[in-house]
Amino acid sequence: MATTTRNDAPIAIEGDGVELRTQELGGDMTAAFVKLPQGADLAPAVKGLPDDLCQCPHWGYLFKGRLKMKTKNGDEIYEAGQAFYWPPGHAPEALEDCEYLDFSPTKEFNEVIDHVKAQMG
């Protein structure tokens, strides 16, 4: 069995108040601890992926804040205290400072992370 904590998970992406810490847990799943400051819009970071949206599914829990998830079919709002499933085809925007934990298939998540890092230059 594998475990991690926010502090033990290595930083995958950091900048402008955004922090993404990830740790592969086995079973081809990765845990991600995410902090997004109010106003952070990840749509530009996923531009160039199919439909210009993240194509990795995520299952998780929003601990803090409000988040707008942009999709091809319209926007959805998530609030602190909600568990979620985000299917492929989304881009988050923080309406308030947000903190959440999600679990994602490692291969697909790493492809998105690599793309975002390339967009950051």
pLDDT in tens, 48-103: 999 999 999 999 999 999 999 999 999 999 999 999 999 999 999 999 999 999 99
Distance of CA 61 to the CA centre of its chain: 11
pLDDT at 1 over 80: no
Helical spans, DSSP H, in the chain:
43-46, 106-120
Give the separation between CA 108 and CA 99, rounded to whole angstroms.
Answer: 21
Q: Is the dihedral of CA 18, 23, 85, 56 positive or negative?
A: positive
Topology (CATH) of 11-96+107-120: Jelly Rolls (2.60.120)
> How many helices (H) and strands (E) in the chain?
2, 9
Domain-wise residue ranges, the chain: 11-96+107-120
Q: Is residue 48 within 8 Å of 115, Cβ to Cβ?
A: yes
Q: Which two tokens mark 94?
A: 């923080």
The 10s digit of each residue's pLDDT in 12-37 is 999 999 999 999 998 899 999 999 99
Band the pLDDT of 113: cuts 50, 70, 90.
very high
Q: Which two tokens mark 90?
A: 């989304």
Give the separation between CA 111 and CA 40, rounded to whole angstroms.
Answer: 21
Amino acid at 93: E
Give me the pLDDT at residue 76, please. Answer: 97
Query: Count of alpha carbons within 13 Å of 19, Cβ hemisphere only?
Result: 14
Band the pLDDT of 117: cuts 50, 70, 90.
very high
